[in-house]
Every structure is written in structure tokens, then in C-alpha cells.
Amino acid sequence: MDFKFTEENLSRIESVRKKYPDSKAALMPVLYIAQEQNGYITREVMDEVALVLGIKAVDVLGVATFYTMYHTSPVGKYHLQVCTNVSCMLKGGYEMLEETVKKLGIGVNEVTPDGKFSIEEVECMGSCGTAPMMAVNNDYFENLTKEKLNEILDSLK
Amino acid sequence: MEKILLLDIPNYHRIDVYREHGGYETVKKAYSMSPDEVIDEVKKSGLRGRGGASFLTGLKWSFMPKTSDKPKYLCINGDESEPGSFKDRQIFEFNPHALIEGALIACYAIQAKAAYIYVRGEYHNWIEMLQKALDDAYSMGLVGEKMKETFQTPYECNIYIHKGAGAYICGEESSLMNSIEGKRPYPRVKPPFPAQNGLWGCPTTINNVETISNIPAIIKNGWQWFSRIGEPRHPGTLLFGVSGHVMKPGVYELPSGVLLTDLIYNYAGGVPGGKKIKCVIPGGSSMPPLRGDQIEGVKMDAESLKAAGSAIGTGGVIVMDEDTDLVRVLARITKFYYHESCGQCTPCREGTGWMLKALNRIARGQGTTSDLELLIDVAKNIEGNTVCALGDAAAWPVKFMITRFRDEFEKAVKKEVVMPVASMVHSMRHTALPLAELKKN
Ligand SMILES: Cc1cc2nc3c(=O)[nH]c(=O)nc-3n(C[C@H](O)[C@H](O)[C@H](O)COP(=O)(O)O)c2cc1C
Ligand code: SF4
Ligand code: FES
């Protein structure tokens, strides 16, 4: 499967590059743009990123696989990230994770067959004062209870 | 009580409101001083970094070479990934212009060409808020090319936001710089320090978001004013994030030196159900935990917490009530460091894994007394033997939790020593210990 950036994204990449003195530094923002366009980052995507930035594919691979927010396999339309780190754990973070798993019938790091949901257990998201919490894609849902969690999941169509 | 960062002014995050209250006027004042005078003012104010190590900010700035044929940079650390820390996020949301104004002043003081604000990727929505504030400042000619005209100076600088992508290690200063450069974010061996060899090998200063956001108020009101707030050796207000078993968790801006008990019982409303406190981590999960009976009279500033056997860190206070299972807590904390270790140094990469295995064993009820010795031993072997401080951050909670809550961990393990030599072969020092010695513990 070939991957090519859209014209619009190519011009976004051009403006991102202006923020840095060399094109290698644009790698992280460009990976985000690629992920936005393709959903996740495949080897073909990495090759294209390398080509566009004029850097080595192996360097793209090294960076893309280091971070948890770049997905190298597909995630659901709604990617649920439940925090279980200490402050959340003290307030029921693991119960929220269990409830999510039970409700969706998939395990952690799995995607529902319809591609709608995926679950990830994440480290502290900086919401410790409003724990427990979960992020759905980029949006935070805080002070969760089982009821609130179910309401949120039901509302995601 | 006087606040500096989280003011009770509605819509203060908006540039028009910020300017109505004198925002960006301090840049003019700073630019009428020489860069060295600005550094001197910050030095005298006694401001210490809010990113964890409480290093003197003015002193750090003075390490920057005065002459350099390379460009200079400022990095602003908004990675905020230390469990229990959620304060910088408040600045992005409620006072982004203090951060931008602070960056303009700090850049001038060290004569930087540009500032990069590194924000963790999960804070996507807060990055958008900060970006909006930055765009507004650009369009009003307060940043970039047009600032020369606005402030009537020959100096100009740019400010950029760099979005992280989910890696705690990027909060470590040299890892953060590698991350911006588009490299794998492995921490660098120091020296050389960033002031000599930072971003793209150029002289660089790095400060936390909260540190930089304090700069406008210091320059505006003078060092004397700032140095009188709170504890003289660590002056100013601090953003304390209180979480865990308290009635009113949240971020409280209070003068440094506030009593830890005041913070927990008066501000955060005490422990639900009137339960006793078993354990408090006063500065984010890397800092040594304190026993509930150790917190009386402890003040929240770097020196007082050091004296009390812990550290101020990022001011993230995690409170645990008497029913908390500390074995589970420690296992969870250790899982975090194991997950976040970049893998560059053997003691950190392997040691965090060993510690996690031993703790999980204890949590399953299959641990023995020798596991406790093993844990402390591994922790001591990590501490001080790694490229960056993540190693220490992983070792401290283990070392101090087990020694300070020995009774609790003893209760969780079986008394008999199972294969003491076999379980300790990794450490040559201990294989020589007579069995009797191990049984004593
Ligand atoms: C593993 C690790 C993670 C860190 N994370 C952060 C962070 O998220 N934010 C931060 O400001 N400092 C963090 N630091 C501290 C920075 O390395 C650096 O000391 C700090 O940003 C300097 O700013 P300051 O002098 O204003 O405190 C971390 C350090 C280590 C070792
Ligand atoms: S101490 Fe750990 S995180 Fe730091 S450089 Fe070494 S392996 Fe990486
Ligand atoms: S511990 Fe869950 S957000 Fe911090």
C-alpha cells in the first residue's frame, strides 16, 4: 500500500519546517501529520516521511517506535486511554479500566471488530487532581465514576 | 494571600484582558535594562526552578556564554509527565501570556534567538490554547520580527511550540533537546551541560514552565518584593498539586514554606471519612515518600523537605489514607519507571525490571524477606550509576518506601528465606554473605 501526503499536508509540512533550523527536527510534527492522514504509521508512511524530509528511513523508524502516541498499528475511531498511575489508582483507575474492558468486550491494546473502539492503559496524563480519568482521542474526561464512564461510552457513536 | 500565576481575574488567558492589567509592559522595562542587569535581578530574587531540582534560575542563566559565534536558545519544559504533577497545565489554560512574556524576557537575558516550548503530546487541547495565545501575541507584534518596532529595540526572538508524543523521559533536559532535534530522545552524558552544548550543539538554557511564568512579576515588582514571599531560601509562590485521598484535590498556589499539614487539611479539605494518613509523597512520584507520622511541622520548600528526608520536586503532593496497600502503590510506581526507562543504561533498564518482578511477586503474596533485601540492593545499585536522573527516580521510591514502611512490607512477605544465594547472584557483594546474616533481616 503506497502512501503519499496530500497537497494540503505537504504545504503544512512546509510551514512546520520553518520552525526549525534543519529538516530533521520537523520529524515529530510531520509524523503527527502522517498519522492524522493515515490513522497509523506503517513502514510505507515512514519511508515517505523520510523522503519528504530528506532523512534516513531508519532514523524515522527509531523515532516513530519510541513514543507511545505514534501508533504503528491501527487504533479505533475512539481510542480510549485510561490512566492507572498512582493518583488515579487511589481513586479507582483500575476499576475504570476493568469496566471499559467489560463493556466493550475487548482487552487492553485491542480494537473492537467494527473498528470503533480501542483501549490503552496509560501512564499519568496530568489529571491527578481530577482522578480517575480517561482520554478519548484528544479529549480528557475526568472525575470518572462507573456511571459517567458508561454514559460517555454510550454517547460515542 | 498574594498570587502571582493563577490570579482570580476572569478571562485572564485572553490577550486583551492580560494587556488591560499591564501585560507585556514588563518586556519594555526589561529591554531598557542590559541583559546582565536582568540576570542579576533574577539572581537576587532567589527564584529557584520549579521543574524538580530547584536550581537557582539566575545562576543557571549566568552560565550562558556571553559571546558565542553560534545562536543561543531557550527551552521551556512543559513535558509535565511526573505522576502526581498537573500544575503547568493550569498555566497553559489560565495564564499563557505570563509564560510568553516570561519567555520574551528570559530570551533577552540570555540573548537567545528563539525559545522552544516543549509540551507533552497528551496536552493536545492545552497546546491549542497556548498556540492561540502565541498567535495573538504574534499578530499584535509582540513576538518575532515586529517586536523591534513594538518595543523599540534592536532585539527580536521567536517562540515555537514543540509537541511531545508520550515519553516521560523527554522531560529530562538533554532528552528533551534530542527530541526537538528529531532524534531518538536518549538523555546525553553530562558534561557538557546545555549552556555549552544544548539544542543543535548551541548554548541553551532550559527552564520549567512555572519558572519562566514567574519572570514578568519579578522584573515588574523587583527582586526585593519576590524574595520576601514565603520561605527566604526558596522564595515565591509554588503551584502545589494535591491528589489522592483528600476531599478537595487540585492545584493550590501558596507561598513556599506552607505547612504540608495545612495544605492537606486546610486547603485540600483533609482525608475523606476522617481517616488517618499512612503515606504522603510530597513532590511527585520520584520523591521519597514520608510516613503519616513524619509530616507534622514539615514546610513545603526545598530545604525543609530535604531536612525532612524528602524533596520538593514538582510540588505534586500524593496523599494515601490508612487503608492504602503500599505494596500495590510501590509496584505501580515501579511499573511506571520500568515502562519509561529509555534503555540506554543497564542498571536502569534491567534494575527497574527486576524491582518490578520482585514487587509483583510480593503483591501476589509469593514474596519472601529476601525479596525486600533484593529490592533495596537493586535500588542502591541503580542510584548514582546511570546517565540521567530517571535511575534515581526509580530507585528512591523503592528504597525509601521499604525502609520507612518496613512493618507493612514485612507483613506482606513470608518470613523464611527462599534460596537467598540464588536470588542474589546478580550482586557479587552479597553472594559472599553468610546465610545467617540474611536470615537476621
Ligand atoms: C526523568 C526526568 C523527567 C523530568 N521531567 C520534567 C518535566 O516534565 N518538566 C520539567 O520542567 N522538568 C523535568 N525534569 C527536570 C529537567 O531535567 C530540568 O531540570 C528542568 O526542566 C529545569 O527547569 P528549572 O530549572 O526551571 O526547574 C525531569 C528530569 C528527569 C530526570
Ligand atoms: S537512567 Fe534510565 S532513562 Fe536515564 S538514560 Fe539511563 S536508561 Fe535511560
Ligand atoms: S495519575 Fe492518572 S492522571 Fe496523574
Domain total in chain A: 2
Identify the pLDDT of residue B2.
83
Q: Is residue A72 part of a domain?
A: no
Residue B77's pLDDT is what? 98
Are residues A57 and A92 part of one domain? no
Q: What is the pLDDT of residue B149?
A: 97
B332 to chain A, any CB pair closer than 8 A? The answer is yes
Distance in Å, alpha carbon of A5 to nearest chain B alpha carbon: 19
A122 and A60 part of one domain: no
> Which of B43, B376, B65 has its CA nearest to residue B226?
B43
Domain stop point among A21, A41, A66 = A66
- Residues with Cβ < 8 Å from B175, sequence gap 6 or more? B169, B185, B186, B187, B188, B342, B388
Q: How far is residue B222's CA from residue B27's CA, in Å, rounded to a whole number?
A: 14
Q: pLDDT tens for chain B, 441 residues: list them.
A: 689 999 999 999 999 999 999 999 999 999 999 999 999 999 999 999 999 999 999 999 999 999 899 999 999 999 999 999 999 999 999 999 999 999 999 999 999 999 999 999 999 999 999 999 999 999 999 999 999 999 999 999 999 999 999 999 999 999 999 999 999 999 999 999 999 999 999 999 999 999 999 999 999 999 999 999 999 999 999 999 999 999 999 999 999 999 999 999 999 999 999 999 999 999 999 999 999 999 999 999 999 999 999 999 999 999 999 999 999 999 999 999 999 999 999 999 999 999 999 999 999 999 999 999 999 999 999 999 999 999 999 999 999 999 999 999 999 998 765 554 444 444 444 334 444 444 443
User: For chain A, what is the mean pLDDT?
Assistant: 97
Q: Which domain holds residue A132?
A: 78-156
| Helix (H) or strand (E) segment spanning residue B319 | strand B316-321
Residue at A36 is within a domain: yes
Residue A137 included in any domain:
yes
Query: Does residue A71 belong to any structural domain of this protein?
Result: no
Identify the CA nearest to B90 among candidates B61, B36, B52, B50.
B50
Strand locations in chain A (E): 78-83, 117-122, 134-136, 139-141
Q: What are B224-259's pLDDT values in tens digits?
A: 999 999 999 999 999 999 999 999 999 999 999 999
**Nearest CA to A82 among A72, A67, A92?**
A92
pTM greater than the 0.90 cutoff = yes
Do A46 and A94 share a structural domain? no
Chain segment A14-44, per-residue pLDDT in tens: 999 999 999 999 999 999 999 999 999 999 9
Dihedral of the alpha carbons of B5, B11, B13, B19, in degrees to the nearest 10: -90
pLDDT in tens, A3-15: 999 999 999 999 9
What the block records as the C-alpha cell of B130 is 497556548
The full DSSP string for B169-212 is: GGGSHHHHHHHHTTS--PPPPSSSPTTTS-GGGS-EEEEEHHHH
- Asked if B240 and B210 count as a contact pair (C-beta separation under 8 A), the reply is no
What is the pLDDT, as a whole number, of residue B132?
A: 98
Q: Report the pLDDT value the prediction gives residue B416, as an integer from 0 to 100.
A: 62
Q: How many residues does chain B have?
A: 441
Question: Is the complex ipTM higher than 0.90?
Answer: yes
Q: What angle do CA B178, B65, B75 make, to 5 degrees?
A: 35
Find the B205 Cα to ligand 3 centroid distance in Å: 29
Q: Are residues A59 and A101 located together in one domain of the fold?
A: no
Residues B131, B161 contacting (CB under 8 angstroms): yes
Taking the CA of B189 as reference, the closest ligand is: 2
Q: Which atom of ligand 2 is nearest to the CA of B344?
A: 7
Are residues A88 and A135 located together in one domain of the fold?
yes
For residue A62, is pLDDT > 70? Answer: yes
* Out of B82, B244, B339, closest to residue A90 by CB: B244
**Residues in chain A closer than 8 A to B163 (CB atoms):** 28-29, 32
Question: Are A131 and A89 in the same domain?
Answer: yes
**B390 contacts chain A (CB < 8 A):** no
Give yes or no: residues A62 and A82 share one domain. Answer: no
Task: State the CATH number of the domain containing residue A147.
Answer: 3.40.30.10
Residues A59 and A87 occupy one common structural domain:
no
Task: List, in order of start, the domains of chain B with CATH numbers.
Answer: 15-227 (3.40.50.11540), 237-321 (3.10.20.600), 326-440 (1.20.1440.230)
Contacts of B250 in chain A (CB under 8 A): 129-130
Nearest listed ligand to the Cα of residue B340:
2
Q: Is residue A1 situated within a structural domain?
A: no
- Contact (CB, 8 A) for B117 and B162: yes
Identity of the amino acid at B143 = V
**Residue A103, in any domain of the structure:** yes
User: Which pLDDT does position B415 carry in this prediction?
Assistant: 77
- Section A78-93 average pLDDT: 98
In a domain, A111, yes or no: yes
Asked whether residue A151 falls in the same domain as residue A90, the answer is yes
**Same domain (yes/no): A109, A131:** yes
Domain match, A61 and A82 both? no
Instruction: Say whether B86 and A126 touch across the interface (CB within 8 A).
Output: yes
Interchain CB distance below 8 Å, B80 and A126: yes
The answer to whether residues A140 and A108 belong to one domain is: yes
Task: Look up the CATH number of the domain holding residue A57.
Answer: 1.10.10.1590
For residue A134, being part of any structural domain is answered with yes
